[in-house]
Amino acid sequence: MQQLIEAFPRQLKEALEIGRKATLKAPGGPYSNVVVTGLGGSGIGGKIAAQLAHKEAKCPIEVYHNYYLPGYVDHKSLVIACSYSGNTEETIAAMGQALAKGARVVVVTSGGSMLEMAKAKGLDHIVIPGGNPPRTMLAYSLVQQFFVLHHFGIIGDGFEGAIKAAADLLERDKEDIKKAAMDLTERLVGKQLVIYSEANTEAVCIRFRQQVNENSKVLCWHHSIPEMNHNELVGWAGADKNIAVVIFRHKEDHERTQMRMEINKAVFEKYTSHINEVWSKGDSAFARQLYLINLGDWVSLFWAQKKGVDPSEIAVINMLKGKLAEVK
């Protein structure tokens, strides 16, 4: 796991090369909507891509993590089916619905049933390297989302330079990122973690939560601001001193949201002294979000090491899949 987290910047650059070499059919269109279907380590790339592309996207981009697709999917829809293994049953079910509705389907996978289906039906597909836990291959699945969105006329091509610059930043600041992650881990171990950010970067919170769940074997939750100011903030009346807050922040966050964060901190401080602000670094939204993702991945690994647990072990998920496989 440590080697795979260490490799994240290199993976981003390799993913760019894969995307540049991908052969996709004529885009057709225009498209009225984009739906990404995927789960876990395969689905989070869609959420990150959607939030990074939202300012320039020429149509709505929505991410579904289930067996079904929204009713509006039709022949004017672009559906990106993303499953690292290619055998995720929920994604296969959603992919089948997309085809039945006449949507344009693009598959991002390393193999499995979905790749076989894509080849058999002549669907556009991009193959990414296989053989590792899906959550460690985020770079590959994430980057391909942008190539697909660009090919089909949803976004421009500025993402390539931004991702390359972000990868350079992560390589250059690797030791500083690891040190910051270790310092943060020391403040989180033994605590109940709560993660916040501005709504525009909520996917970074989700990624961090997923990594802490799987790698560190720790329950935690997240929310976004300003939405949590309309509900969860009241729930803090039932908080206790063992809660540790991590707030992912960007200098570019909306000025009213930054005011809200300062007020929120004053509320949190009534119940806990464990409040941690983590400021992003980088000259673009891509760099800033990838910086926080990489730092969060390191925290999840260091936390696992502190606990003495295997960050790669996911026996309970395998048990669940095994039980489901018994019922056809």
**What positions carry a catalytic annotation?**
214, 230, 321
Which two tokens mark 90?
Answer: 């929920």
Of 108, 107, 37, nearest to 67 by C-alpha is 37
Query: Is residue 94 within 8 Å of residue 71, measured between CB atoms?
Result: no
Distance of alpha carbon 267 from alpha carbon 261, whole angstroms = 10
**DSSP letter for each residue of 62-85:** EEE-SS---TT-STTEEEEEEESS
Of 310, 220, 228, nearest to 274 by C-alpha is 220
Cα 201–Cα 207–Cα 212 angle in degrees, nearest 5:
135
Q: Exposed (0-12), middle (13-18) or buried (19+): which is 248, by Cβ within 10 Å?
A: buried
